[in-house]
Amino acid sequence: MSDEAASAVLAGLDALRGDVEDWYRDLHAHPELGFAEHRTAAEVAGKLRACGYEVTTGIGGTGVVGVLVHGTGPVVLLRAELDALPLRERTGLPYASRAGGDGAEGRAVMHACGHDVHMACLLGAAHLMAAAPGAWQGTLVVLFQPAEESGAGARAMIADGLAERIPAPDIALAQHVFHAPAGYVGTRAGSFLAAADTLRVVLHGRGAHGSKPEASVDPVVLAAMVVLRLQTIVARELAAAEQAVVTVGSIRAGEGANVIPESAELLVNVRAFDEDVRARVIEAVGRMVRAECAASRAPREPEIEHLSSFPATRNDPEATARVAAAFGRHFADAVRAERLTPSDDFTEIPRALGAPSTFWVIGGTDPAAYAAAERAGTLAADVPVNHSPRFAPVLQPTLDTGVRALVVAALAWLAPPAA
């Protein structure tokens, strides 16, 4: 990439900034759940067609791909996500979500993970690249993926023939906003994001009147014992140098205070960077659940169902070095990031397409607010993280940084025109 090419493409950002911010506000105000992103996909597709992309919709359900060809050269794929989360927003923003979900359950929906940022930034980068054809040559593929939060969206696009619908990429690139100061850009070679698995555990007891606990096998008490026991996996079964997270994110049991129910359901989330650690933790979950059920004289074996799985994100070393060098020339706050325990299904796409990939993160927190919380030692309490109902990236410099990062990374591959 020449710095001149980046300067030529990004020269249009000042004029486009207001549009990018408006796109973000609109996307944030109208979130949709995975595989139900119909309005979102239509908005994205319309904006891509307006600046000259050849657009294909409905890939994997609601996925959208835009292709722009400027002569011969490398094929670069940039990816963003379409879906939001089933969460009631508490940011107080004037453009806060009032969405009620897919209608089936009336759930509140919110862009609490930053996918609205990712879409707005990718649309901005797509427009800038289309407006500066003299600065680069090659093929740009912009991919908007459904259902990232469930881990099913990338696989759905692949199963729906993604490889036959787009030019084969030479490199696949993606980014994610998180709770670092806005303006921050970070990546690292090799292991970056954790693998993740979600398990549904059903514990079977024997119901009874609340006044007669001796007649029951109480699944609520059993669930409490399981939750506590699972905390020992990381604390007592892994070495200090091994990293994993075990979270029980949901417990459901019973309807009344004086009724001991028949069953309890737990949703368990496991995260690990290493495949061996991942397998050992999942085995330990099953072993401990079954042991606690035996200790409680449960009348039936527990049900353990694997609901979803995300691959670990491992950045290609050569591709990451190339992007990091470009970021280092362009951003004042480009750093080598630490490994992060969140997960993403992005790597399913380059793996299926046979392309190297790299993934980076950008900050979205007001820098002054972040610095104040850091000085006070209150980052955990005062800086909302992804998936919080109060997660609200500041518009700037978050959006500018995201647009710039995508353009700069893409131009690390797309060749300048022949003289």
**Three-class DSSP category at 8:** helix
Which runs of E-coded beta strand occur in 60-193?
63-70, 75-81, 138-145, 171-181, 185-187, 190-193
DSSP 8-state assignment for residue 215: G
What CA–CA distance (Å, rounded) separates 209 from 258?
6
289: how many CB neighbours lie within 10 A of its CB?
26
The token duo for 23 is: 């796109």
What CA–CA distance (Å, rounded) separates 359 from 343?
11
What CA–CA distance (Å, rounded) separates 37 from 83?
6
- In the Cβ-directed half-sphere of 176, how many Cα atoms lie within 13 Å? 23
Please name the residues in contact with 276: beta carbons below 8 A apart, sequence gap of 6 or more: none
**Continuous segment of H or E residues that includes residue 364:** strand 357-365
Of the candidate ranges 40-49, 90-99, 229-238, the one whose mean pLDDT is the lowest: 90-99
What CA–CA distance (Å, rounded) separates 191 from 115?
22
Share of the chain above pLDDT 70, in %: 97
The token duo for 41 is: 């996909």
Please name the residues in contact with 419: beta carbons below 8 A apart, sequence gap of 6 or more: none
311 upstream amide cis, omega within 30 of 0: no
Q: Are 408 and 330 in contact (CB under 8 A)?
A: yes
Residue type for 66, please? G
Q: Are strands 263-272 and 195-204 parallel, antiparallel or unpaired?
A: antiparallel
Domain boundaries, the chain: 3-193+312-411, 198-309
Mean pLDDT of 357-371: 97
3, pLDDT greater than 90: no
405: how many CB neighbours lie within 10 A of its CB?
25
Give binding residues for Mn(2+) as ranges: 113, 115, 149, 176
Please name the residues in contact with 374: beta carbons below 8 A apart, sequence gap of 6 or more: none
Tens digit of pLDDT for each residue in 280-337? 999 999 999 999 999 999 999 999 999 999 999 999 999 999 999 999 999 998 999 9
Angle between helices 115-131 and 38-50 (to 10 degrees): 20
Give the model's pLDDT for residue 415: 73
What CA–CA distance (Å, rounded) separates 292 from 12?
62
How many residues does this entry show for the chain? 419
2: how many CB neighbours lie within 10 A of its CB?
12
Can you give the pTM of this predicted structure?
0.93
In the sheet with 263-272, reading across from the earlier edge strand, the strands are: 244-253, 263-272, 195-204, 303-310
**Confidence label for 418 from pLDDT (cuts 50, 70 and 90):** low
Among candidates 20, 6, 22, 27, which has minimal Cα distance to 129? 6
**Continuous segment of H or E residues that includes residue 404:** helix 398-411
Mean pLDDT of 71-95: 96
Among candidates 100, 99, 61, which has minimal Cα distance to 82? 61
Residue 202 forms beta bridges with which residues?
265, 303
Please give the CATH number for the structural domain made up of 198-309: 3.30.70.360
The token duo for 413 is: 């591959």
Please name the residues in contact with 127: beta carbons below 8 A apart, sequence gap of 6 or more: 12, 16, 19, 47, 51
270, pLDDT greater than 80: yes
Tens digit of pLDDT for each residue in 101-154? 444 446 799 999 999 999 999 999 999 999 999 999 999 999 999 999 999 999
Query: In CATH terms, are 3-193+312-411 and 198-309 the same topology?
Result: no
> Considering only the top CATH level, what class is 3-193+312-411?
alpha beta
Q: What is the 3-state secondary structure (H, E, C) of 236-254?
A: HHCCCCCCEEEEEEEEEEC
